[in-house]
Every structure is written in structure tokens, then in C-alpha cells.
Structure 1
Amino acid sequence: MCRVDDLKHDVLAQNNRSAQRLRRELTAGGTTLVNLLSSPGSGKTQLLEAELTHARRGGVPVAAVTADLATENDAERLARSGAPVKQAFTDGLCHLEADMLGRCLTGWLPAHTRVLFVENVGNLVCPASYDLGESLRIALCSVTEGEDKPLKYPSAFGLAHLVVVTKSDIATAVGFDESAFRANVQQVNPGVEIVRTSARTGEGTGELLRRALAVRAGETVHQPVLASGDRTTQPAQPHTHEHAHERGHQHDHGTQRHADAHS
């Protein structure tokens, strides 16, 4: 008899193989993938638009994929930055998978892209279990969500290489206890750095891009140790890019169906 745990393990194992393949391909093309995870309404899209605009003004070749169940609203907002943007639909799933992302990038990702930002589905449960081939995983939380968010979603925050606080400009107005939040983050992910941002005031703008470029240059990222054991594998170590690449990116991942391991 096939148990749910066995099915979930098989799905994750298959995804991890696809993620490793995609990571190798992106690395060979000189691209660092950044996976952005947060709950809905965290301000992730607005912050990413600011990051893309900052990159474009600085002449850094970047691109973005935004995942959702429906609508192209986020893609349209991000496209205002002038950066190449593509919408990825998850066919009803509450998360993006490596195969889905690979098919989305096939024939689209511009050559010489240094940083590819992936705005995952607004969800702190399902996406935490799926490696997308990223070299930098960032968990975001707005000041309006409560200081105990990391304790409620230990996998999402516990596997992050970096944690970002958004909407910091209204922290005082909503009574955000930053000290308590930081303590809770450290409880699930000891040693991880926490960065304050505000897309409205510009605080922290460019910080995500700077971190991604540092990883691309070979800087070692924080390695989380998730004590709860909610995930079978952790995101792989980033790779160093030491030279320019003269070819585009090719991603051949087939058309395999994705089983949803979540009931």
C-alpha cells in the first residue's frame, strides 16, 4: 500500500533532481537564482520591483519570474522596472516546482542574465519544501504579520539564507516588536542575518541584489540547520562564476506531470 509519506518523498526526490539539474545549467550560464518566499500581502512584489529598477539603473542584467495560481497582475507590476519578466502559472498548486520553472525558462531567459529573481507563490507552507535550483533563498515577513510568524512557519524561515523585514516604515504605527521577531527568527534559524527594508522609503533597496551578486562572486551564504526535520534536503551551496559566458541558457526538462503531495 502506498502511503502519503512515501508519495511525498518520491515527489520531493524527483523535484530535487530537477533542481540540481537546473542549478547546474544556470551556473554554467553565469546566472544566480534567488528564491523569494513569503505569505500573501508581505510586500514582496513591490520590493522586487524596486530591486529590479535599481539593477536596471546600475546596468546589471537581471530577470524575474513570478509564480501564481491565476492572473498576471504581479508580472505586469514587475515589468514596469524594464527588466525581462515572465509569469508562471502553477496549475492550481500552492507552490512552484523545479520542473515548472525549468519549462518557464526554456527559450526565454536572456543570455548574460546575472541574477534571476523568482517570486514564489504567496504561501509559507508548500514552497518551503521545494528546492528550485536557487543559490540564495530569502524569506520575507512584513511588520504587519506579527512577531511569531517564524515560530508558526519554522520550515520557511528555518531554511532561509537571509530573512528580510518589509514595510519597516510603518513598524511603529502597527506596534511591531522587532526584538521579539529577531529572537524568534534566531530560534528557528540560528545565525541567519535579518535585513530591514521599505519599498516606500527606499530603506534597504538594492540589498537583495547586492547579496545575490556576492553569492555569484563566490561569497559563502549562511547555512541553516533546521532542527524540526520538516524537509528532506536543504538548498544546495551556491557556485562561483568567475568568467563571462557567451551563450544563452537551455533548459530541457520534459513535460512530466507534477503530483501534488498535499491533501
Structure 2
Amino acid sequence: MCDTCGCQLHEHHHHDTKVVEVNRSLLEANQKQAESNRHHIEHMGAVAINLISSPGSGKTTLLERTIDELKASCSIGVIEGDIETERDADRIRAKGVPAVQLTTGGACHLDAPMVHGGLHVLEHFAKGRPLDLIFIENVGNLVCPATFDLGEHRRVVLLSTPEGSDKPAKYPATFKSADLMLITKVDLLPHFDFSVEEAAGQARALKPELEIITLSATTGDGFAGWLAYLRGLLAQRTAHEH
């Protein structure tokens, strides 16, 4: 059980049949809404990316620099998930893009129904302007968010150098479910006992095809790889439309 919200949907063996049935029903309802969200996002003409990490891994800072680099060439919207406050959404709005804050009131993850509501508010904030990229910044947590599809097209997990390079082994479900791992804050590598090779090796032992990019949103080191990844997603979307 998650200490934050009581979520029982992790890699545990349940002996209580009622709990299993409730969990299964909850996940099935979430998956149905996630598929609806995906169709909605595609109807908007956008690509959605679910960002997952521990607290403080640099998701918002990553988004700020991404917006600075791409806002001249594509339209971006952001859904922010936090237990409380609108601080992260305010930081994104200061960059001139629409941002919706979803406060979970204690829950340690976003779910598809929450994002469904957020998408409608985001469309309102965009004032009819089509969006190319929608970033969903999940609640800081490496456990619960792995279980819940939000309707995203790509799931990106961030691992920052101060956290240590053993996180993929400790949180296997999260890294197995990711399409891309970003090793962030690499400008701090000289100051922490972090092995890029160890982290990458553990992650690819779980998912051999996992893409990995190392970067620093502060210095810009490696950021070109992240931008190329995003531009590739947009190119795929355009090709699919035609």
C-alpha cells in the first residue's frame, strides 16, 4: 500500500478477493478513459507525453527549457499534476503557454479521468489555438504513476544524478513501462556518486529497447537529443495524418 494515498495497485500479492476485484475494476475504468483521452488528443492534432519521476528530478525545469527552445516552431500545452499548490503551473504560464494545474489532494498519481478534465480546460486556455505537444507532468513518484495510463503517446521517466543510479532496479515497473529515460542534471555528475553506465545497464536489463538520453536543462548539455526526439514525434504525427 502506498503511504501517500493508500493505493494498493503495485506489485503486491493480495489475498483479499474484494480488494483485487476493486483494483481490477478501477484499472479497467481508467484504461477505458485513457483510450478516450488518446482519441481526444489525436483529434486535437497533438502528441501527448507523460513525464514521470521522483520529486525534484527536474521535470518543470526540463519543460521550461523545452518551451524556450520549441515555442517558436510548435504550440505547447501543459497539464501539471501536484498534491497541492499551483507553483509549477505558474512557472509554465510565465513562459507564455497554457497550463492546467491538477491538484490531487493527497493522491500520489494522476489518473485518466483527471486528465480528461484537464484536457477540456487546456483547450479552453488555448483559446482555439491548435496544440502540437501536450506534456503531462505527473505527481512526483516512481511507484503509482506506472500503473495508470493517462492517454499519452509516450511515457518518459526522469532519473536525476542526485538520486543515485540504482533507481531502475528499485522501481522496475516504472522503467519497464517507459518509452524513454532521461538522465537529468548531468552537470552535477562530478559532485555525486552516480554511474550513467550502471543506470543505463539496469534500465535496459528491464527493457532492452528503452531509449536513453543524458542531459542538463541548466547548461543545455545533451538537450539537442531531447529536442530531436520531440521533433521526431511531431514528424511521425504529420506523416500519419497524411
Q: After TM superposition, is the score higher than 0.5?
A: yes
2:115 is the alignment partner of 1:101: yes
Alignment of 1:133-212 (within 5 A): 133-205=151-223, 207-212=225-230
Q: Which protein has the bigger helix share?
A: 2
Counterparts in 2 of 1:107 and 1:240: CA distance versus 1, 3 Å: farther
Please, what is the CA RMSD of the aligned residues? 1.8
Query: Of the candidates 55, 61, 74, which is equivalent to residue 70 of structure 2?
Result: 55
Question: Which residue of the partner structure matches residue 141 of structure 2?
Answer: 123
Alignment of 1:1-263 (within 5 A): 2-56=17-71, 58-109=72-123, 110=126, 111-205=129-223, 207-218=225-236, 241-242=240-241
Secondary structure of 2:78's match? strand
1:204 to partner: Cα distance: 3.0
Distance in 1, Cα, partners of 2:225 & 2:89: 21
Deviates more, 1:99-108 or 1:37-46: 99-108
For structure 1, the residue ranges without an aligned partner over 5 or more in a row are: 220-238, 244-263
Counterparts in 2 of 1:62 and 1:17: CA distance versus 1, 3 Å: same
**TM-score calculated relative to the size of structure 1:** 0.80
CA distances 1:137-172 after superposition (whole Å, capped 9, x unpaired) = 100000111111001000111111000000000112
Distance in 2, Cα, partners of 1:207 & 1:71: 32
**TM-score calculated relative to the size of structure 2:** 0.86
Distance in 1, Cα, partners of 2:236 & 2:183: 25
Deviates more, 1:23-32 or 1:198-207: 198-207
Secondary structure of 2:26's match? helix
* Contact 2:57 2:160 (8 Å CA) reproduced: yes
Distance in 1, Cα, partners of 2:89 & 2:169: 31
Distance in 2, Cα, partners of 1:61 & 1:206: 19
Question: Which residue of the partner structure matches residue 13 of structure 2?
Answer: none
* Contact 1:65 1:116 (8 Å CA) reproduced: yes
* Contact 1:53 1:83 (8 Å CA) reproduced: no
Identical-residue share of aligned pairs (%): 37
Figure out how many residues of one structure are paired with residues of the other and give that number.
Answer: 223
1:241 to partner: Cα distance: 4.3
* Contact 2:164 2:193 (8 Å CA) reproduced: no
Secondary structure of 2:236's match? coil
Distance in 1, Cα, partners of 2:145 & 2:200: 22
Distance in 1, Cα, partners of 2:225 & 2:33: 29
Distance in 2, Cα, partners of 1:41 & 1:61: 26
Distance in 1, Cα, partners of 2:206 & 2:158: 15
1:218 to partner: Cα distance: 2.5
Secondary structure of 1:65's match? strand
Counterparts in 2 of 1:209 and 1:10: CA distance versus 1, 3 Å: farther
CA distances 1:93-143 after superposition (whole Å, capped 9, x unpaired) = 111011111111214323310000010000011100000111111000001
Distance in 2, Cα, partners of 1:177 & 1:129: 27
1:196 to partner: Cα distance: 0.7
* Contact 1:30 1:241 (8 Å CA) reproduced: no
* Contact 1:50 1:205 (8 Å CA) reproduced: no
